[in-house]
Structure 1
């Protein structure tokens, strides 16, 4: 039975006169159950003096009394008995006994209770139909109380510092599972550790400085963290505010952070994947080298670099007409082509961006039209050209010092003939 299921379920309607039959048995049955638990489960084979004994006896007495009272009146409140068994589960965890021992105690209690019910039922001449009803009701009731005690046990376990962090990391793993974990499982574990499931979350990928050891800073309890693995990361509820970002940077000095777009929890794994990819692109010089990268501002760049091999194939095919030029000539022509596409063909705007005379732009564009032909008039080709040109390293990246540096390495290698003629008139 799953934790928390069936807590509001009443036993099946039974003849109320059964309560009068079983009430005289309660005291002796309670003692018999305690004795059987002590005799069959080694963890409970200890003196019953003091708080320990009172807790066990109280739990058993409340259980069987509530069962009988619910036969007499199905509307009888379960609240007090549930609280007793929740505390019983908490005490068992704090006493160092295992969850298996606790669950075994409820099974023993159910077995002894049913044995007594069979004996009393035969003596009272109860029909087989009523006995069957009693069996179903009693087993369901004991399952219910075992679930309540289990809740208490897990709550106590989650309240210890080490265990709480373990459960919090497990919750983070659950949220980031692919395919997404059931919302009910996440909600149940979140309740256990006292974490309110938000409508949106912002994953943060963390990159330590070279040679730095893993850190375990004290963060706000709302932030779930896994900072000790190969891919350290955080999960921030809601939007990442300026104040909270400042606190994260102070807690993780020298670390690069990439903040994924805020998304509903089921999409958190995708957002974290994008954040990790952004850190890689920062390292490659594609994205600016900044302490914090907000992925939402670079989604198009991430999309372009999702398949580098595919972009490379497209680049080689599209820019093949420039293969005969020298590296410097190709830089000029690609620079002009990029500005021309951005300015939608406005010569004056292109000249202003490049800092050259409009006549120079017109000359270069004649050369480009000669190289590419009618393809420059094709909207699809222009779109593809913009894709491959935008897939170059950013001018703000650490490995790029000018708007065109690195372009030569991204273009097809020139052939060794005709370079002198092609170089004519390409100077600014």
Structure 2
């Protein structure tokens, strides 16, 4: 036997005088009014909210619920005691669902039921005692009434939980869709519609963070609730790379330094902060830095803002390769190891503007070694090392090491 049918059948066998039942039914409006008044006074979440039309609806719901209980007791549906209870349970379920949509918690809903049950029983018991009902009947009446209210509250809890679960699933889908659209660089108007549908208030900026998928949850726990994330089907990424992306709101200015500190130890790559609807540009730069293998993730997050020259020079890899071939042509006939050492020395010499001791410190060699190597380079390049155009070509050609991509492991 179900709990619903059990309560109905027990209520149908309660020996309640028809005159008392009629008296109780006549007092239902007053009981409903006092119940709602007590709820608004004692449950903070309902304070000031149950007014006007809403209060009238709730009072009517209380009257219907108590009226259904009296109908059970009067035995008017004795052939099927569950019949009048089903609509009441459906209404209670709908009430719980509506409260979830209104943003009230399950705790607030249950508190309202507790207050309502206490006040309703106080009013009802006064009538039953004054009518001269036997103590055993009053006790059984109380037991049945609280069992009935328990069933209603359980139905409301189920409605509340189902609504939250359903709303949560819908919002997750909407947020995931918005994240994909942002990374794909869809038009701003479309993004705004999706943000509104996902109940996601757009920030001023978004910053992309790429990191290994296994670090995603740990980092996400350090960031705000408006951070968007995706760990699957990233644009331009192979599934085997097992990367995830975070879109961090308003991490520009001084807050970028805080973000960098938070990401230490998580092998992350940070794109630039961009207006939220243009975050695809941040994603593209971060993925480019990842492909180029810029920085050392083990030493801390790779901040693309610190690698702008390398990113700029790598925009046309073939042109850069051609420039290297032309500018470093005097080294082409040398053994590869020798050519590499001389190119490395020439790069440091250009960047340190010929300061021998600084070049030696940079290369971890003796200054005499620098002097020897530069002598060889002057033999190979001749007067071209004093030609501004040649110096510019060499500086650009040697600014970025050959491309070596890879995902952070």
Q: TM-score, normalised by structure 2?
A: 0.48
Higher helix content, 1 or 2: 2
Q: TM-score, normalised by structure 1?
A: 0.47
